[in-house]
Amino acid sequence: MTVWIINGPNLNMLGIREPEIYGKETLADLERFCRAAGAACGAAVEFFQSNHEGELVTMIQQALGRADGIVINPAAYTHTSVAILDALKAVALPAVEVHLSDVSRREEFRRVSYSSLGCRKVIAGKGFEGYREAIGWLTKLTEEEIPKEKAKRNL
């Protein structure tokens, strides 16, 4: 089982940007955390971050046939990107949207999520633990669904 973790703009600034909201841990810390969480669930983890919308869309598209599920934190693109939504819908892989902060308790504009429309679950406000929850949820989901999906394709 392989889970791709795709992170959007400014997550490379973790530990520096607004530590009172995002904490003092870095993107490298998050990657180590996610790899350990994946290993604990029996999942290989591919980890990616970009500040560029098109690169995020490309990564989502490249997950098709290579990943069993996606954990995505589109960051600011959550609230603006129909392109990311369309990519998630196109690949139709099980996806979970994750946010470190509780976006529902922040500015009004952060309460709109286009990307969540292409995801099966949204986890917000749990910090790094939200990623662990998403990886675990996808692992359990895909263990149940992947054999069914493969059987459908073989008919």
Token code pair at residue 56: 């995020």
- In the set 22, 77, 79, 131, the catalytic residue is 22
Is 135 in contact with 37 (CB distance < 8 Å)? yes
Select from 66, 80, 71 the least CA-distant residue to 139. 71
143 strand-pairing partners: none
The answer to whether 79 is a known catalytic residue is: no
Question: How far are the Cα atoms of 72, 124, 141, 145 from residue 10, in angstroms, in the given order?
Answer: 14, 17, 29, 33
- In the set 52, 77, 79, 99, the catalytic residue is 99
The answer to whether 52 is a known catalytic residue is: no
Residue positions annotated with a catalytic role:
22, 99
